[in-house]
Structures are given as C-alpha cells and as structure tokens.
Amino acid sequence: MGTKGCGVLSPRVPLMAVLIVFAGVFAGAQTPSTDLDPAGATRIFIDSVTSLGYSKSDKPYPLGNIDRLGFAQPINDLTLSLRSASGIEVSIMTRLVAEYTLEGAFNVPEPQSGNPVAVENNIVYKGILSLPFFGGNVTLGRQAISLGPARWSNLQISPQVPYLDSVYFRLPLGRLEITQVIATLENRQGVDDVTIPTVPGYNFKITDIILSSRRFVWAADTFDVAVGAQSLFSRPYNAYQLGDLLPIFSVHNGDVGVNNITFLADLNVRAIPDHRQYLILGLDDVNANLFGIDDYGIPTIWAIVGGVAGLFRGPSFDLEYTLETTATHYLWGSFENFDPLSRSIDRLYTAGGN
C-alpha cells in the first residue's frame, strides 16, 4: 500500500512559435487558398519548454526506479508538429533529461568523469502520425498514453510509462467513448527473471509481448464511469490472432496462449470545476470458490486506487495538487509459475503459497 501527494506552484510561460504555411502544403490535395485564409492552411508548431528544477529528500522513492522516472524533471522538451486543416497531424518530441542513475538535487546534471554531458541518450519521446476517424482519431507511432483518471497510478496504462510504440484508437459515440491501445513490448531478460521458457520458438529476445488494452467511458454532466480490460499475450513463433485487435474478445473462445488479463472499473467525479475525485478497482484473477464453485488455488488478485486532484487559480500563478493512495494484492501483475511469460513478476514462484 502506498500514498503519494504533490503540490506544484507554477507560473508557466512556455515558448511557442506558430508558422502558417500556405505554399502548396495542404492535406488531401486541397487547392491552395487564393486569399491566404488561415482556416484552410497547414500549420507548423514549434513548442519548446525549458525547466530548472531542484529537489532534495533524504528518503528513498516509495516505488524506487518507477518514481525516479516519473518525477524526473526534464531540462527541455522540444515538440515539432505539422497539422493540416483536415485534422491530420505529424509530430515529434525530443526530451533532454539527466541520466536517471544520478543523485543530484538539480535537474541539470553536473559533468561526470568520462561523461561531461550526463543526459539520457534515448531522447525521442514522441513520433506519431494521427488521422481523424469519425470524430475521434487513430494515432500510430511512439506516444505517451494513459488510460484512466489517475495522475500517477492508473491500473490500466499508467502515466508513469514514458511512451509506447503503439496504435492508439479513440472513437466517441455521443456520451460513450471507446479507446483501444495495441502495442508490442520489448522482451529482455532481467536479473530478476525466475522462469526460463523451454517451448520451441518462444524465448527472450525472439518472442514479442503483445499489449491490447481497451476502455469504455460513459460521460455524464458531473462524472465519468468506465470499464476496461487489458491483455498481455506471448505466443511461440509470434503468432497473432484477429481477436488481439478487436475491442471485445473472449479468451474462453480462443487459444490465446500464455496471457494475463486484467478487468477494471473506475469512477471520476468532477462536480466542482478544476477539482475531481476518482476511484479505480482492478481484478487480475478471481477465485470462484467465493461463489461456491470449485476452482484451483490462485486467489482473487485485486487492486484499488483512490485520489483527489485539482487546480487553484490565482491572479498570477496556479497551484496544482494531487493526493493518491493505492493498495494491491501481492500477486498483482504476476503470472503463474507453470506459464512463464517473459518479463513476468513471478511472485507466486518466489514467495510461494497463496
């Protein structure tokens, strides 16, 4: 169980330059406007945000390296975007951030021996092509995605994930909105992996891990209610099924192979402008013995997240706050030891028992 709180006092002044391009660059082969109407133009956006930050604490991060990545203050974010009047967008963002292993109080790193510029090398945080789709959009490429109302700890896809190389799909249908993410995850063997696959065509580095996550949100005037499901698949010889791409699919109707499926529900209350309260519930597995049905020994694996977040607006500054608490069963996110999935957190095998 963990609780996190944060307050940010921020007079924000981002630098943005907008260049309007008229010289024959139009989406969908449109005829260039003769009266230079900006509404029919393609626009180039250049957005650069530079930050100087200082933080000091004698206590370790509650979630270790996850919090280290989540709370890291970038030195600079530079975004270049090309947006057409038809809604098509191409965008790339680079991030300059100090190496995550450094312990300095400032976000600008001190020169290191043999490493005078101690910044992360993987600086491309976003590179997408976004297309309009029946009032929603389909986005392909590297992108930051968060499914759920929480600022820090969504159980579906968390804001702490820097980015996913994925396909993102969003379709609004009145008050209902359908969202789906399909991605492949890197498959590297870590020092804590306790299961080694022995199935032909299935191993570290050679097997893709497929993430398929979908969410259905109903938006009322003062609150949102949502249900969702998230699936992780790993199959010999990287076999795919059409069900991997469908918004609704029953694993009981197909041989999906080694997998972990999570079911979620959340409530986001926004009755007060600029302030909201949220609750997220998740089930990783359900033991049917609770209902008098014979089931095997895996227990009911649950998780819960609750929080409040908001913004107080002042005449020359904004005060942003978030308070969030989480609790999970110790097997949350695990896979059974007889179904080794690459990169699983196999606590049942290492800790034993239920």
Round to whole Å and give the CA distance between 142 and 125.
Answer: 7
SS3 per residue for 82-141: EECCCCCEEEEEEEECECCCCCCCECCCCCECCECCCECCCCEEEEEEEEEECCEEEEEE
The single-letter code of the amino acid at 279 is L
pLDDT category of residue 317 using cuts at 50, 70 and 90:
confident
The single-letter code of the amino acid at 208 is D
The single-letter code of the amino acid at 152 is W
Tokens of 34: 């003769």
pLDDT of the residue at 306: 95
> Which residue in 339, 263, 344, 327 sits closest to 298, CA to CA?
339
Round to whole Å and give the CA distance between 169 and 166.
Answer: 10
What is the per-residue burial (b if ≥16 Cβ within 10 Å, else e) of 119-147?
A: beeeeebbbbebeeeeebbbbebbbebeb
What is the per-residue burial (b if ≥16 Cβ within 10 Å, else e) of 255-267?
A: ebbbbbbbebebe
Candidate ranges 128-132, 201-205, 251-255; pick with highest mean pLDDT? 128-132
pLDDT of the residue at 346: 46
CA end-to-end distance (rounded Å), the chain: 18
Overall average pLDDT of the 189-212 stretch: 73
- Judged against a pLDDT cut of 90, whether residue 272 lies above it is answered with yes
pLDDT of the residue at 2: 58
pLDDT category of residue 303 using cuts at 50, 70 and 90:
very high
pLDDT of the residue at 340: 54
Residue 85's φ and ψ, nearest 5 degrees, are: -65, -20
DSSP state of 86: T
Q: How many CB atoms lie within 10 A of CB 218?
A: 13
Tokens of 185: 């995850």
Q: How many CB atoms lie within 10 A of CB 303?
A: 19
The single-letter code of the amino acid at 348 is L
pLDDT tens digit string along 182-198? 998 877 776 666 566 67
SS3 242: helix
- Judged against a pLDDT cut of 80, whether residue 154 lies above it is answered with yes
Round to whole Å and give the CA distance between 266 and 224.
Answer: 8
pLDDT tens digit string along 10-62? 443 333 333 333 233 333 333 344 444 455 678 999 999 998 888 777 777 76
User: In Å, what is the CA distance from 11 to each residue of 51, 73, 274, 317?
Assistant: 12, 16, 17, 5
pLDDT tens digit string along 2-18? 555 554 444 433 333 33
The single-letter code of the amino acid at 141 is G
Q: How much is the pTM?
A: 0.76
Tokens of 245: 């791409």
Tokens of 343: 């990169």
pLDDT of the residue at 52: 86
Among the residues of 30-98, which ranges form H helices?
65-71
Q: Kindly state the percentage of the chain with pLDDT values over 90.
A: 34
Tokens of 169: 């799909």
Tokens of 214: 């979908």
Q: What burial class does residue 253 get, using C-beta atoms within 10 Å of its C-beta: 0-12 exposed, 13-18 middle, 19+ buried?
A: exposed
Tokens of 251: 């694993």
